[in-house]
Amino acid sequence: MLLISLDAETAAKLLEGLPADDIQKIAVEVAQIDASGQRSTKEEANVTREFSNLLQVNQDQGLTTRSFLDDMLVNILGKSKAEQIQAHVRKVTERKDPFVDIRSAGTDELVVALEGQHPQTIGMVLSELETNKGQEVLSLLKEDVRLKAVGRMINLGSLGGEVKRRMAGMVSERLKRLEGTEVVLERPEKQEETLRKLALVLGGLENELRDQLLNEVKEHDEEIASTVRKLMVTWEDIPRVADRSLQEALRAVEAGKLAVALYGANEEMVQKIRSNISERVQAMLDEETSLMQEPLEKEVLDAREEIVAPLRSANEEGTLRMLSR
């Protein structure tokens, strides 16, 4: 745990002079910690503090298994001996955790490797992945495959260790065959992205034609028509709004709301809004920002909607001025 919290060069210095067998044992432990997917920052911090009160854990700069094996071992033992230890580590980790290679694979590679696999195998792999990665892989599978795999995840606890190893082995073999090939899946477009494109197309039309087409959409689905209208002007469009139009929209927005809306906004957005309010309002905005506690995400979104609402109204009326792209 101590080594994981350090960079490769510092870790290598700590291990200088140790017998190769001891280094090999430590390498196996580091690999096991990483492969388990259950690294605990709290435990690492405790270990580090015990070693020295001057050290602080920084997981973002922590040592991964790959950098440990590729950098530190080579620095200490040379390339030839390091490769021998790496081979031994792989055998040990695969024997203890057959899903170690699967967890380290890319999302796209995993989706391809799972094509044609039994739903139970897919469910097992999904259950072994980190939550966010598992969700992304699941979203990229075909709909019928998703349903079957999720259904099989309910009974995974009854499977024996040998069955799990066979499942992992089949997927790992597929992943090995994919090595050296570029796999890039086409992500399915989210409905909001599709409607945003439609909104941009309609937004560039004359008002009469725009409204006529929106009314046709409304006849089929009123909710979609309403969403398209909103997506014609969004928070992200503000840098493209002409200064005069933005000034008119900001005139009725309180400094407190502005402070919340700008929380977490990029520099371009901040400068665009600050350059379109008076010095008095800028001073009030600075004061509100200095006193403001961290807002909830919903509060930020609501405040941004309050700024965008008059821009949408102006767009409906045909008075909103936009800069060219």
Question: Taking Cα atoms as reference points, which of 21, 24, 129, 134 lies closest to residue 68?
Answer: 24
227-267 pLDDT per residue, tens = 888 889 999 999 999 999 999 999 989 999 999 999 999 99
Tell whether domain 193-317 is in CATH 1.10.220.30: yes
Q: Where are the alpha helices (DSSP H) in 52-116?
A: 65-67, 73-77, 79-96, 100-104, 107-114
Give 322's strand partners. 241
Q: Which two tokens stand for residue 101?
A: 């290679």
48-87 pLDDT per residue, tens = 766 655 444 333 334 455 555 567 677 777 778 777 777 7
Amino acid making up residue 3: L
Give 241's strand partners. 322
Please state which of the four CATH numbers 3.30.70.260, 1.10.760.10, 1.10.220.30, 3.40.50.150 is assigned to the domain occupying 102-178: 1.10.220.30
Amino acid making up residue 236: E
Q: Strand, helix or coil at 322? A: strand
The model scores a pTM over 0.75: no
The pLDDT > 90 percentage for the chain reads: 28
Q: Do domains 102-178 and 193-317 have the same CATH topology?
A: yes
- Phi then psi for residue 322, to 5 deg, are -120, 145
Burial class (CB in 10 A: 0-12, 13-18, 19+), 87: exposed
Q: Which two tokens stand for residue 97?
A: 């955790």
- Inform me whether the pLDDT recorded for 133 exceeds 60: yes
Ordered by start, the domain boundaries in the chain are 3-97, 102-178, 193-317
